[in-house]
C-alpha cells in the first residue's frame, strides 16, 4: 500500500491511497474460511461446502468491505498522525481514482479535502457587546406570590364582584354559564364590577370576552356549532359570586406550599418568586445574547474559507439544491461554517466537555423542577432515578442534550471572556432593548461614585441599569 499527499495548496489538498491485492488478501482469506465453517449452502452440510463455491458467492463483497476498511483507516489515521484538522468529509475524486472490483485487483483512491484555517480568538480586541439581564419587577413578584397563595387560600362567596372573581350567570330561564372577570373586555368588566347577587346586566355576548375561545367556553359551544353573532343583547342575572382569598403567609402556609422546608418567611418567598420569574425569562435573554455574540464573532474574526471546495461539497451531498438557490443562500452557508469553526476553537480554548453525568443531572433537574417541586427531594429520589434511566434510552434525545449542554458551556465561556456592557431591567425593558428603543438605554452604574449613585437613586425602579465587565485579558 502507498499513500501520497499533495499539499500544494494550503486550504484544499489531496491524499492518494493505493491498495494492492497483497494488502487485503490475507484478511479476505481468513473471512472466507470462517464463512465456510458457518454458512448454510444448499446441498452441503455446514462446513463441507467447496471453497470455490464459497469464493464465488462471498469473495467479492468481502474484498469490497476489506478494501473500504483499509482506505478509511488509513485516510483518517493519516490525518490524526499528521495533526491535520479537516473541514467536512473528504471527497473522492473520480477521475483520479481507479476502483473496479469486477476487473481489477489493485485500487487507487484519491481524495480531496479541506484543511481548517488557522486562526486565534483575541477577546481583548473584540468590540463591546451589549447584553441584557432580566430582573423580576415588583408587580411580577407580587403576582407570582399571589398565584401560590391562591392555591392554598379559602373559597368564599362575597357580596360584590371584584377583579379576580368567578361569576355564574343565568339567562332565558334555563341557560347558565360561568366565567372569570379577568377574561372580560374592559367595557364588560366595568359593567360587572361592584354588582351583587341577583343583579341583572344587559350585554352583548360577542362583545363580552377578550377572545372567542372564552366565549365558546362560556356558551359551552364547539367549533362545529359556534356562531359568535348568533346571540344578540341578553339580560344576564348574577346567581353566584366566587372568590379565593389569598392564604395568609404564616407558618402553616409555608409548610403546605413548600414542604421541603426551604422557604419559611416572606422574604425568602419573595426571593424565590423573583428567581423563578427570572429563570423563566433567562432563556429569552440568553438566546438574544448568543445571537448577538455569534454575529459579533463572525464579523470580527477573519477566516480564509475554501469556498470552491465548500460549493462542490454542498452540491455533492445535496442533489436537490440548485445553483440559483445556493447563490441566494451562500452568505448564510458561509456564516454557518464559520461559526462551526469558531465554536470548535472555543471548545478547545475552554476545555469544554460534556459528560454523561452532566446529561443525567440535567434530566433529573428538569423532572424535579417541572413535576416534583411540591415534594421533598428525598421522597422522590427513586422515581427521579427511574425517569433518568428511561430518558437515557432515547439516543436521539441524549445527543440533543449533549449539544444543548455544550452550547450552554460555550455561552458561559463567552460571558466571562467577551467585553460586555450589561443592562439590567424588567421584561418590558428587555423588549425595548430587543427593538433598540430609547427607553432601554440607561447609565453605566459601575462608572459612578457612591455619592453619584445616591443622587440618581430616585427613579431607579423605572430605568434599566447597566454594569460593565472589563475585556478579557490576553
Q: DSSP labels for 150-219?
A: HHTS-EE--SB--TT-EEEEEETTTEEEEEEGGGB-HHHHHHHTT-BTT-EEEEEGGGTBSSHHHHHHHH
What backbone phi and psi angles, to 5 degrees, belong to 16? -110, 125
Expressed in percent and rounded to 5, the helix, strand and coil fractions of the chain are: 50, 15, 30
- Residue 445 pLDDT: 34
Longest CA–CA separation in the chain, Å: 101
Please give the Cα distance from 376 to 386 (Å, whole number): 17
Tell me, what's the pLDDT at 293? 96
Q: Are strands 129-134 and 420-425 parallel, antiparallel or unpaired?
A: parallel
- Residue 373: pLDDT above 90? no
Distance CA 147, CA 168 (A): 22
Mean pLDDT of 214-243: 83
pLDDT confidence of residue 229: 66
The model's confidence at residue 227, banded by pLDDT at 50, 70 and 90, is confident
CA 55/CA 62 separation, integer angstroms: 9
Q: Grade residue 468 by pLDDT with cuts at 50, 70 and 90.
A: very low
Where would I find the H helices in 39-164?
Answer: 51-81, 138-151
Mean pLDDT of 299-324: 93
* Phi/psi of residue 400, nearest 5 degrees: -65, -40
Cell of 460: 431607579
Return the pLDDT at 228.
Answer: 67
467 pLDDT above the threshold of 90: no
Q: How confident is the model at residue 230, as a pLDDT?
A: 63
> pLDDT of 137-191, one tens digit each?
999 999 999 989 988 988 889 999 998 899 999 998 889 999 999 999 999 999 9
Residue ranges and CATH numbers for the domains of the chain are 2-115 (3.30.70.1050), 123-136+264-468 (1.10.3120), 154-244 (no CATH)
Distance CA 308, CA 9 (A): 13
Please tell me the least confidently modeled range out of 6-10, 99-103, 193-197: 6-10
SS3 423: strand
Q: Are 426 and 141 in contact (CB under 8 A)?
A: no
Averaged pLDDT, 85-96: 94
Residue 456 has pLDDT above 50, yes or no: no
* C-alpha span between 55 and 61 (Å, rounded): 10
The answer, yes or no, to whether residue 449 has pLDDT greater than 70, is no
Over range 297-325, report the average pLDDT.
93
Distant-in-sequence, close-in-space partners of 438: CB < 8 Å, separation ≥ 6: 432
User: Rounded to an integer, what distance in angstroms lies between the CA atom of residue 466 and that of residue 447?
Assistant: 9
| Summary mean pLDDT of the chain | 87
Looking at residues 434-445, what average pLDDT do you find?
51
Beta-bridged to residue 421, according to DSSP, are: 130, 468
pLDDT class of 225 with cuts at 50, 70, 90: confident
Measured from the Cβ of residue 313, the count of other Cβ atoms closer than 10 Å reads: 20
Share of the chain above pLDDT 70, in %: 91
Banded pLDDT at 472 (limits 50, 70, 90): very low
Q: What is the pLDDT of residue 221?
A: 83
Which pLDDT band, with edges at 50, 70 and 90, does 369 fall under?
A: confident
Q: What do you get for the CA distance between the two ends of the chain, in Å?
A: 47
Q: What angle do CA 53, 59, 65 make, to 5 degrees?
A: 155
Contact 204, 229 (CB under 8 A): no
* pLDDT (0 to 100) of residue 7: 87
* Residue 231: pLDDT band with limits 50, 70, 90: low
The grid cell for 6 is 499533495
Q: Which helix (H) or strand (E) holds 435?
A: none
Banded pLDDT at 301 (limits 50, 70, 90): very high
Reference 24, options 58, 64, 55; nearest CA is 64
Band (pLDDT 50/70/90 cuts) for residue 469 is very low
Residue 38 · residue 69 · CB < 8 Å = no
- Specify the pLDDT at position 87: 92
| Nearest-angstrom CA–CA distance, 70 and 76 | 10
Interatomic CA distance for residues 14 and 46, integer angstroms:
47
Integer Cα distance of 75 and 350 in angstroms: 29
pLDDT in tens, 41-64: 888 888 888 888 888 888 999 999
Give CA–CA dist 163/193, Å, rounded. 7
Read off the pLDDT of each residue in 340-365 and give the average, rounded to a whole number. 93
Answer yes or no: is pLDDT of 464 > 80: no
Per-residue confidence (pLDDT) for residue 261, from 0 to 100: 83
Amino acid at each position: 500500500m502507498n499513500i501520497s499527499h499533495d499539499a500544494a495548496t494550503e486550504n484544499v489538498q489531496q491524499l492518494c491511497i493505493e491498495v494492492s491485492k497483497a494488502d487485503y488478501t490475507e484478511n479476505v482469506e481468513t473471512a472466507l474460511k470462517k464463512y465456510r465453517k458457518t454458512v448454510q449452502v444448499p446441498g452441503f452440510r455446514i462446513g463441507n461446502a467447496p471453497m470455490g463455491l464459497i469464493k464465488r458467492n462471498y469473495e467479492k463483497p468481502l474484498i469490497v468491505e476489506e478494501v473500504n476498511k483499509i482506505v478509511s483507516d488509513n485516510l483518517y489515521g493519516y490525518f490524526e498522525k499528521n495533526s491535520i484538522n479537516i473541514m467536512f468529509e473528504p471527497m473522492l475524486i473520480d477521475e483520479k481514482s481507479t476502483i473496479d472490483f469486477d476487473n481489477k485487483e489493485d485500487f487507487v483512491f484519491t481524495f480531496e479535502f479541506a484543511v481548517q484555517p488557522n486562526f486565534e480568538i483575541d477577546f481583548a480586541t473584540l468590540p463591546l457587546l451589549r447584553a441584557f439581564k432580566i430582573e423580576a419587577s415588583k408587580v411580577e413578584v407580587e403576582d407570582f406570590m399571589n398565584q401560590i397563595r391562591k392555591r392554598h387560600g379559602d373559597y368564599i362567596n362575597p357580596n360584590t364582584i371584584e377583579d379576580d372573581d368567578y361569576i355564574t350567570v343565568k339567562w332565558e330561564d334555563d341557560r347558565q354559564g360561568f366565567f372569570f372577570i379577568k377574561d372580560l373586555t374592559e367595557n364588560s368588566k366595568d359593567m360587572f364590577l361592584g354588582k351583587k347577587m341577583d343583579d341583572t346586566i344587559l350585554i352583548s355576548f360577542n362583545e363580552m370576552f377578550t377572545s372567542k375561545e372564552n366565549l365558546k367556553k362560556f356558551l359551552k359551544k364547539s367549533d362545529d356549532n359556534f356562531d359568535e353573532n348568533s346571540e344578540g343583547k341578553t339580560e344576564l342575572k348574577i346567581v353566584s359570586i366566587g372568590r379565593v382569598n389569598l392564604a395568609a403567609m404564616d407558618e402553616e402556609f409555608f409548610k403546605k406550599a413548600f414542604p421541603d422546608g426551604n422557604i419559611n418567611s416572606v422574604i425568602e418567598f419573595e426571593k424565590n418568586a423573583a428567581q423563578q420569574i427570572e429563570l423563566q425569562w433567562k432563556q429569552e435573554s440568553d438566546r438574544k445574547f448568543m445571537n448577538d455574540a455569534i454575529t459579533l464573532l463572525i464579523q470580527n474574526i477573519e477566516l480564509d474559507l475554501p469556498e470552491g471546495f465548500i460549493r462542490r461539497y454542498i452540491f455533492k451531498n445535496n442533489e436537490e439544491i440548485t445553483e440559483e438557490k445556493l447563490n441566494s443562500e451562500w452568505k448564510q452557508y458561509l456564516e454557518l461554517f464559520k461559526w462551526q469553526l469558531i465554536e470548535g476553537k472555543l471548545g478547545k480554548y475552554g476545555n469544554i466537555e460534556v459528560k454523561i453525568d452532566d446529561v443525567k443531572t440535567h434530566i433529573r433537574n428538569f423532572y424535579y423542577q417541572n413535576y416534583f417541586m411540591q415534594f421533598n427531594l428525598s421522597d422522590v429520589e427513586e422515581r427521579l432515578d427511574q425517569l433518568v434511566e428511561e430518558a437515557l434510552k432515547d439516543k436521539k434525545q441524549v445527543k440533543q442534550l449533549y449539544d444543548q449542554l455544550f452550547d450552554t458551556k460555550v455561552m458561559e465561556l463567552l460571558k466571562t471572556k467577551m467585553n460586555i456592557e450589561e443592562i439590567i431591567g424588567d421584561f418590558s425593558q428587555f423588549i425595548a432593548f430587543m427593538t433598540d428603543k430609547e427607553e432601554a438605554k440607561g447609565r453605566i452604574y459601575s462608572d459612578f461614585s457612591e455619592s453619584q449613585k445616591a443622587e440618581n437613586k430616585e427613579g431607579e425602579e423605572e430605568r434599566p441599569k447597566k454594569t460593565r465587565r472589563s475585556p478579557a485579558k490576553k
